[in-house]
Amino acid sequence: MQCELCGALIQGPPKTIQIEGAELCVCVRCAKHGTEVQQTRRKGAPQQKSGVAVPQARRKPRDVFDLMEGEIVDDYADRIRVAREGKEWSTLDLAQAIKEREILVKKIEKGDLIPEDDVRRKLEKALNIRLIDSAEDSASAGGPGRVTMTVGDVISFKKSRK
């Protein structure tokens, strides 16, 4: 089990604390950042309910970083507008194609609003464009013969100068 505050693996029993009204399962080190919530029922004790027993589905904790595909490109608004104009669509046509409101499409094209993942996917599919800057894209963007410096290069460079 992972600590919901720092992300480290919890060794031993997790602590349930409350921070700003949210209850979190945390490791012993992070327990000091909130107030500990007393457990009303022991793990081994059966629940006393009348009626039909419903098995509780245990949900896997969501890790936000697992859901991230990459970062949206800086020029997303221009890419969307150019692709839409290339298909000779109005903003209304695009909005109808992706089943969203026209005002949403206009705000995204102006750069006032960054599209959420579901809208971004619809736009990519309808316009046949790519709006996510993934690791593979940035690696290939460098092109052959282009050298990029890493932290390791800087360290070895400083050591060689001494």
Report whether pLDDT(57) > 70: no
In this prediction, residue 51 carries a pLDDT of: 53
State the distance between the two ends of the chain, measured CA to CA, in whole angstroms: 46
Burial class (CB within 10 angstroms; exposed 0-12, middle 13-18, buried 19+) of 160: exposed
Buried b (16+ CB within 10 A) or exposed e, 125-159: ebbebebbbeeeeeeeeeeeeeeeeeeeeeeeeee
State which fold the 71-135 domain adopts: 434 Repressor (Amino-terminal Domain) (1.10.260)
Q: Is the pLDDT of residue 18 over 70?
A: yes
Please report the pLDDT score of residue 60 as a whole number.
58
Answer yes or no: is pLDDT of 104 > 90: yes
Looking at residue 96, its pLDDT comes to 94
Q: What is the pLDDT of residue 159?
A: 62
Provide Rg for the chain, Cα atoms.
Answer: 25
Q: Is the pTM of this model over 0.85?
A: no
User: Is 42's pLDDT higher than 70?
Assistant: no
pLDDT-based confidence at 2, cuts 50/70/90? confident
pLDDT score, position 106: 94
* Residue among 46, 20, 50 at smallest CA distance from 35: 20
User: Structural domain boundaries of the chain?
Assistant: 1-38, 71-135
What is d(CA 126, CA 53) in angstroms, rounded to the nearest whole number?
A: 47
